[in-house]
Structure 1
């Protein structure tokens, strides 16, 4: 019987090609968007939590009190020269298409209306301050009706000469 002899280099190459045929190259790519807000240091009013404006906010239903728990957040405020005012752009309501109820917006312990309300003094605004914001559901006279409610709140900030 005649024996076939292959050079060692050829055997090694054959063995490696068999091993690598089972190893596949993998590639994964992801693309995502990035946005930034770089405020002017002369004037800004922005949420302390950058995600606050990016996502729908939920007011949880409180079974024990049969009311909606308030929504709370904080805003960072700065103005290099004057006090700061805030107002609502429109009366905020939540609606399910059949039923509506109002919202009370309190900014730095001041209830906001459609008129300018002083919310940060000139001294606090000059150094910058973080202030609380609270949004409460105003219970309808007949009580809250079941359903999915939607709405929005528009806050407008201005400077006011002292």
Structure 2
């Protein structure tokens, strides 16, 4: 009887932990992608979420103004400088009201006309530059509401 009890105790001690291991299973699935830029010319945000998701411009209740949106880009052009322009006017709108936006790339204000934003000397080895989007403050306070907008930037490789 003692042997039977000992055998069942040993079996239980050895078998139960392995049964619990069969019950606990975790699986994770996620998707991956990569964008590998050309070695000759590229203008890419350091954080890809910048262009993949809607970005909030935060409202400050202390200043009654919008806080600037800032991001970094990696730029390179082995054949010359880099030019940039706005594809269309940059603004936020709630359907009735409009808030104009000032867009600066590498401390150069962008307009609808192309301008050099990175010199050939800086662009050749590649570097990191800043993007800043600022709401233009007017004499009047911003009207309450939800505002949406798009900033469309166009970058060109400028040949020497």
TM-score interval, smaller chain: 0.7 to 0.9
Q: Work out the CA distance in 2 between the residues paired with 1:126 and 1:18.
A: 66
1:11 aligns with 2:16: no
Matched residue of 1:53: which SS? helix
Q: Work out the CA distance in 2 between the residues paired with 1:15 and 1:161.
A: 78
Out of 115, 118, 121, the residue aligned to residue 119 of structure 2 is 121
Moved more, 79-88 or 92-101: 92-101
TM-score by length of structure 2 reads: 0.84
TM-score by length of structure 1 reads: 0.83
Q: Deviations over 1:128-154 (max 9, x none)?
A: 121121101123554311111111211
Q: Work out the CA distance in 2 between the residues paired with 1:21 and 1:79.
A: 59
Q: 1:140 to 1:19 in 2, by over 3 A?
A: same
Structure whose CA Rg is larger: 1
Q: Structure 2: which 5+ runs fail to align?
A: none
Out of 104, 110, 113, the residue aligned to residue 112 of structure 1 is 110
Once the two structures are TM-superposed, the CA of residue 30 in structure 1 deviates from its matched residue by 2.0
Once the two structures are TM-superposed, the CA of residue 20 in structure 1 deviates from its matched residue by 5.9
Q: Structure 1: which 5+ runs fail to align?
A: none
Aligned-residue Cα RMSD (Å) equals 2.5
Report the equivalent of 1:62.
Answer: 60
Once the two structures are TM-superposed, the CA of residue 27 in structure 1 deviates from its matched residue by 1.4
Report the equivalent of 1:100.
Answer: 98
Q: Which has the higher helix share?
A: 2
Matches within 5 A, 1:1-162: 7=4, 11-12=8-9, 15=12, 19=16, 23=20, 25-140=23-138, 142-162=140-160
Q: 1:61 to 1:13 in 2, by over 3 A?
A: same
Q: Deviations over 1:51-96 (max 9, x none)?
A: 3223322222122221111111111110011111011111111112
Q: Work out the CA distance in 2 between the residues paired with 1:109 and 1:43.
A: 20
